Amino acid sequence: MSALSNRLRVTLIVALILIGLLLSMYWAGRLAEQRAWAERAQEAQGQLELYAQAIHTQVERFRSVPALLALDSDIQALLAEPGNRALRRQLNQRLEQQNHAAGSSVLYLLDRDGETIAASNWRDWSSFVGNNYAFRPYFRDAVSNDSGRYFAVGVTTGIPGYFLSSSVKNADGEVLGVLVVKLELEEMQRDWVGQPGILLIADSLDIVILTNRPAWRFRYLRPLSDEVRSRLIDARRYAEQTLQPLPSSRVQQLAEGSERRLVDGPDGRREYLWQRLALPEDDWTLHLLHDPQMVVASVRSYRLAAAGVWMTLAFLLLYLAQRGKTRRVEQRSRSELEHLVHERTRELRTAQDELVHAARMAALGQMSAALAHEINQPLTALRMQLASLRLLLDSGRDGEVREGLGHVEGLLERMAALTGHLKTFARKSPAGLHQRLSLAEVLEQALQLLSPRIRSEQVEVFRQIPAEAAVSGDAIRLEQVLINLLHNALDAMAERPQRRLRILCQLNGDRWQLSVGDNGGGIASEHLDQVFEPFFTTKPVGQGLGLGLAVSYGIVREMGGTLEVSNDEHGAVFTLTLPAAEAHAAE
């Protein structure tokens, strides 16, 4: 009887151990599966955001190019006189140079009927010149809405591209034509090939236009109606490409924009973690598909761990019958479990820190590029100031050295303000600061930056600025405009035996007009209408890119003012007009 009882007890204990083992493995697998899917979804979301940032950066580089070039007087002249062969050849060459400098694929100009009259690829066999693209939506959008954007396969080259367009208007606001820049994103797509997962970039019709797996391209994620197919054929959006379906069905909704789907793809019928992220500016959607094998491996690991834990607990229960071993074994197991939890928590925190660090590095890259461009003028002034300080120090003029060091400190503070402004811009905060500015103080700071050159070139400066002259805006940007105007005036007088710089300011209604004049002989009359155009310069090669006045013109317009140029009997005169600040505006 005792032997039978022991046998039944052992059988019951073994049965309980097996049942507990199965239940623990089941619940551990469920918990591991939920956690693993959530972790993978979070990682995929971060990866999608990096892809979105890369696409946004690539497109933003060229978004303003068509609108900027549309202001070119030669482009408007050719649209007004399309039969002028000399002007057409000249514009072809300019578009070729500007396309090479910008790094885009093709720059081309369409007349109001959609026919290409000038293009950067005019020398190639696949030249767009003479082709009519009036059927393209980017042409119709630019004519009706001033700008357009459109992804399509090129009907001439057969190469897919992203088209950005802007209308060209005359002084009366009448549309003369459309300027288009084509971006080929194939190189960026090739860079994605080695990345984990399957990246799909779909347009507004849910047709895959870019991917890191070529076999998945030009597949539609949802059925296309006959009307949509007919519209695509009329616009020749995908040229001769054959569109194929990519059927899928949802298995489980994990979170917003994240789900498990069963996909009939080029690799067969398989289940994927499907993550999506919308790009509303371009009306695109990013999709990232991950193989769930890593989730299966994680579930297997959790089940094995749960089995081990359960068996450990089972043995601990068995060891309860023994004297003092039970407590020591239980304590040891608890310590091991706490160590495992601590290690897993540390690993999760490390992964999260790495993800945050990657986002910071991306922002730092944008900040560094902008800072290198914006801080160039203060650095040049700082270099000139330090050179002057060396001379003063060698001469034993300590008082002036101390004063110069104060100027250097001011320059460093100014550069710190520039970096702060760049940080604000990078966070998509309102572009530019608005505060009450004294024109006399801003001008004094600009003249201090140029004082070494003014002294060395013996420039006579005459200025007349009322103390009450005040405007509203960003002091750093306004000072940048004044420095650029003063620099140009000094350059214009470089060959003159006597150099006179005139700076006058007067109130005209509710606006302050500040003029900067020189005695450099003035600007040729045929160039007066071109000085604010991008890349136009009369300086020798290597001494200017023709961007200073164009940038200054844009800054002044953002502040609600105007920047004009004219000639008088002495030389060129640049007139800056800004709205007067309110008498009690907040600082």
Q: What is the DSSP string of 541-569?
A: TTS--S-HHHHHHHHHHHTT-EEEEEE-S
d(CA 373, CA 395): 35
Tens of pLDDT, residue by residue, the chain (587 residues)? 566 677 787 787 777 778 877 777 767 666 766 676 666 777 777 777 777 777 777 777 777 778 787 788 888 888 888 888 888 888 888 888 888 887 888 888 998 888 998 888 888 888 888 888 888 888 888 888 888 888 877 767 777 778 888 888 887 888 888 989 888 777 777 777 777 888 888 887 788 878 888 888 888 878 877 777 777 776 666 665 677 888 888 887 777 777 888 888 888 888 888 888 887 777 788 888 877 766 666 667 767 777 777 777 777 777 766 666 667 777 887 888 888 888 877 775 554 334 323 333 333 343 343 345 446 666 777 777 777 777 777 777 777 777 777 777 776 776 775 565 444 334 443 445 678 888 988 888 878 777 777 888 888 999 899 988 899 888 778 887 888 888 888 888 888 888 899 999 999 889 999 999 998 888 888 888 888 887 777 776 555 666 778 878 888 888 889 999 998 888 889 999 999 987 654 44
The answer to whether 138 and 148 are in contact (CB under 8 A) is: yes
Beta bridge partners of 249: 262
* pTM assigned to the model: 0.43
> Tokens representing 587?
């600082």
Q: Which residues contact 54 (CB under 8 A, 6 or more apart)?
A: 188
What is residue 224's DSSP assignment?
A: -
d(CA 160, CA 152): 6
Q: Which residues contact 376 (CB under 8 A, 6 or more apart)?
A: none
What is residue 582's DSSP assignment?
A: P
The answer to whether 381 and 450 are in contact (CB under 8 A) is: yes
Tell me the C-alpha to C-alpha distance, in Å, between residue 513 and each of 34, 526, 572.
67, 25, 16
d(CA 284, CA 542): 41
Beta bridge partners of 473: 435
Tell me the C-alpha to C-alpha distance, in Å, between residue 279 and each of 62, 520, 572.
17, 51, 47
Pairing verdict, β 459-464 and 499-508: parallel
Q: Which residue has the tokens 């057409």?
A: 88
d(CA 118, CA 128): 8
d(CA 197, CA 213): 9
> Tokens representing 331?
């304590």
